[in-house]
Structure 1
Amino acid sequence: MIQLIRFLWYLNMLLVIFFILKQEPKLKGMNNLSQREQGFSLSSTKERILRQQTWGLLISFVTLTVLIVKFNA
């Protein structure tokens, strides 16, 4: 059981990192990457959905962290 929770925790951690980087890649000031940035522009609805998914992943990450601590104690 604990191995499954740890696997989900690692997967969740990677997804959180990916979603945060996708949401705010910090590429706006670089001139040489401006063509790539146009492909990543999101509409407000997609931004809202991405933000909701990121918060959901963060909440599940904290929940899984608490479960790991509880099962290891």
Structure 2
Amino acid sequence: MSLVAPAVVHASEITLVPAVKLQIGDRDNYGNYWDGGRWRDHEWWGRHYDWRDNHWRAHDEHRHDHHDDRDRGPDRDWRHH
């Protein structure tokens, strides 16, 4: 007899029963948002998620999109004393 265990996957959608699904960003009757693990209030949601590219994204998902392009020039090691 073989046992089959469900795989743990991080997804933007959770199926509770065949006809009921929760998606990241869904709201409950109290105005709280589903973050994939628990219901969060509006203030928490606003501090952690943005609506970009037609879906909710965590704020930190785009932190690597921009790099530090401040060039200090050829004398970047020079320090004013």
Superposed pair shares fold, TM > 0.5 = no
Q: Report which structure shows greater RCO (CA 8 Å, sep ≥6).
A: 1
More strand by share: 2
Q: TM-score, normalised by structure 1?
A: 0.31
* Bigger radius of gyration: 2
Q: TM-score, normalised by structure 2?
A: 0.29
